[in-house]
Structure 1
Amino acid sequence: MRAADADRIQAAQLLTEAAAQGQLPMPEYEERLTKAYAAKTYGELERLSADLPVAFSATRNTGPAHPAPSTLLLAIMSGFERRGRWNVPKRLTSFTLFGGGVIDLRYADFTSPDVEIHSYSIFGGQTILLPPEVNVDVHGVGVMGAFDHGVDDIGSPGAPHVTIRGFSLWGSVGIKRKKRKAT
């Protein structure tokens, strides 16, 4: 049977949990994660986790994926950080005013195959860190500031698609691909 986006996301979360518990070394985790996002059938997904204590099974599918609720990250003369393991919502808005922030998607669980990030920075700065496998589109503008467009937009087939929109006024929004640290 053909797997759906929700099934691929579930398998990716299972692999992330296994890597966090030290059951998968980072290079193997990244290889399996790429295969999970490209999987077309339940069988392919099951083979990726067959040697893990909690294996993926088609019976675990509870229907369509339910994205995490929209989130606002706000830093006014302060800062925010979203790092480590967290649920990425379908829509995320970040705003800095005389402040700074970091949105690190490398270890995060995607709850939707398509994610929109709206980043606004006024007299402040933000950094968005992307894992190697996600696909990305950047549509932002810097006015007397910078909105980074230098990131490679192509990731792995079937991986989540992240669209980043926004603007910076006398500030910056930096977007970088960064590998996960080996454990």
Structure 2
Amino acid sequence: MSNGASRSGSMRAADTDRIAVVQLLTDAAAQGRLEMREFEDRLKKAYAAQTFDELDRLSSDLPGIATTAPSIAPGQPAPSTLLLAIMSGFERRGRWNVPKRLTSVALFGGGVIDLRYADFTAADVEIHSYSIFGGQTILLPPELNVAVRGVGVMGAFDHVGGEGCPGAPHVTIRGFSLLGSVGIKRKKRKAQQ
């Protein structure tokens, strides 16, 4: 968690500090050091943390994890991405870096965007989804804060309800579906085998 600069544990943490700890916890869960229930509990606490002390307590018992550098340094969002399915399909699953802006288009095709195991490189993310004679599914973990501003024209554009955890990334989903669908679902992570 430490970036080499001296800091007091009672100093207020920034969104980038919380995101860095979430990436460390995700690495620990992927390595089997945390069970899924404990991982999700620590995620909620990381997003709600206000100080460096609170963040340090969440990862201090994970040996060797703190030396793992995240694939994108905090404060440097992943580049904008376009997912395109024209009479074909796309899938974005598992560990991947969620950019600040993601655009997905399904034209006579389909796609899946799974954010449950993804690493967020920005606190605010915009997803623009367009389905024309096609379908997309966006899977969200329970802790994310989500706002949906899409519309279905002779098709469906789901609207999920409920708030996520305070301090968790905020995802805004915009777009439309024309004779197609954009399905948005909150789904828990699967327990490791």
Both proteins in one fold, TM over 0.5: yes
Alpha carbons of 1:86 and 1:117: their partners in 2 closer, same or farther (altered >3 Å)?
Answer: same
* Superposition map of 1:31-180 within 5 A: 31-54=41-64, 56=66, 65-149=75-159, 151-180=160-189
TM-score (norm 1): 0.94
Q: Answer whether contact 1:46 1:56 (CA < 8 A) is retained.
A: no
Q: What residue identity is the alignment partner of 2:175?
A: G
Superposition CA RMSD, Å: 1.6
Aligned partners of 1:173 and 1:105: how far apart in 2? 15
Aligned partners of 2:41 and 2:75: how far apart in 1? 24
Q: What SS class does the counterpart of residue 103 from structure 2 fall into?
A: strand
Between stretches 47-56 and 125-134, larger displacement belongs to 47-56
TM-score (norm 2): 0.90
* Superposition map of 1:9-20 within 5 A: 9-20=19-30
Aligned partners of 1:158 and 1:47: how far apart in 2? 17
Match of 1:7 in 2: 17
Q: Answer whether contact 1:46 1:55 (CA < 8 A) is retained.
A: no
Shift of 1:155: 0.2
Shift of 1:64: 5.6
Shift of 1:23: 0.3
Q: What SS class does the counterpart of residue 32 from structure 1 fall into?
A: helix
Match of 2:3 in 1: none
Q: Which runs of 5 or more residues in structure 2 are unaligned?
A: 1-10
Shift of 1:54: 3.2
% identical aligned pairs = 79
Q: What residue identity is the alignment partner of 1:45?
A: L
How many residue pairs are counted as aligned between the two chains? 179
Shift of 1:152: 1.9
Superposed CA offset, 1:6-32 (max 9, x none): 000000000000000000000000000
Superposed CA offset, 1:130-166 (max 9, x none): 00000000000100100001x1240000000000000
Aligned partners of 1:153 and 1:80: how far apart in 2? 28
Q: Which runs of 5 or more residues in structure 1 are unaligned?
A: none
Aligned partners of 2:181 and 2:53: how far apart in 1? 44
Q: What residue identity is the alignment partner of 2:107?
A: L
